[in-house]
Amino acid sequence: MFIVYFLAKVHNPEIFSEGPTKLSTLAGTSNTLIMLTSSFFVVRAVISMREDKRKSSVRWLWAAVTCGVLYLIIKYFEYEWNTAQGLSTETNIFYAVYYYVTFNHFLHVGWGTAAIIWVIYRLNTGIYTKEEHEGLINIALYWHMIDLAWITIFPLLYVIR
Amino acid sequence: MQMTHIKFIEILWIVLIVLTLFSAYMAEQAKPGFDSVAIMALVLAIKGRIIVDYFMELKHSHYILRTLMQLYFYVIPALIILVYLFPDQIAAWTVL
């Protein structure tokens, strides 16, 4: 995905220099802060589980889910705002890459959020214990990977001109 | 002991937030140039390492797993700088 970005950029330097100026830095920054905060909440959920504080772990996970939903809402309105500016996948190669990368990430946040809700359900049924909570660890790692992808996307598409 | 770990994670979270706000400031204020590109690449490397090492807790994991993940945040920042410095050469090498 990032190789596509770099290749498109070297072949279209002017378009990629101009592209980020028309995107909403506010939306990109807000979603970065939300993703980082959600990752922090997931870390706290894992720490709580290790301390055998199941209810606390569930609360931290719901906080992460809230962040996930907030991210999706902001991204939806960002796309709407782009459309109002006349930006689409066909505007130029920068926006084609932008929609390819960010919509891909949007989908991962969507089903990542759904997976966290599934882990909350599993926690509430008492399947996970202080010693054995591999499902929670797995979704935590998956969520951090989504976060890592976004902190890479943010400078590439919104910051570097 | 556990309180110390939580406090440490909270401090890292604040560092990540501050670095993000700094990036947003750069996006709006800084003039495009090598300095701003290099700083953005460094910020990305730092943020990535914090998440890989401490949020994912890979700092003390198996070295292959750890190195593969950490490598990601050497390669991408390096590509950002290389693409800025040598766009024409890279473009010439990647023509079908």
**End-to-end CA gap in chain B:** 58
Q: Find out whether A20 and A160 touch, Cβ atoms under 8 Å.
A: yes
Residues of chain B contacting A, Cβ within 8 Å: 2, 5-6, 9-10, 13, 16-17, 20-21, 23-24, 26-28, 32, 36-37, 40-41, 43-44, 47-48, 51-52, 55-56, 72, 76, 79-80, 83-84, 87-88, 90-91, 94
Q: What is the ipTM of this complex?
A: 0.91
Global pTM?
0.93
Taken in order of first residue, the domains within chain A and their CATH numbers are 24-159 (1.20.120.80)
pLDDT in tens, B52-75: 999 999 998 999 999 999 999 999
**Which residues, in sequence order, are CB contacts of A107 under 8 Å at separation 6+?**
none
Q: Where are the domains of chain B?
A: 2-93
Subunit contact B9:A147, Cβ cutoff 8 A = no
Percentages (nearest 5) of helix, strand, coil residues in chain A: 85, 0, 15
Amino acid at A18: E
Can you give the pLDDT at residue B1?
A: 52
Residue in B with minimal Cα distance to A151: B44
- Mean pLDDT across chain A: 95
pLDDT tens, per residue, chain A with 161 residues? 899 999 999 999 999 999 999 999 999 999 999 999 999 999 999 999 999 999 999 999 999 999 999 999 999 999 999 999 999 999 999 999 999 999 999 999 999 999 999 999 999 999 999 999 999 999 999 999 999 999 999 999 999 87
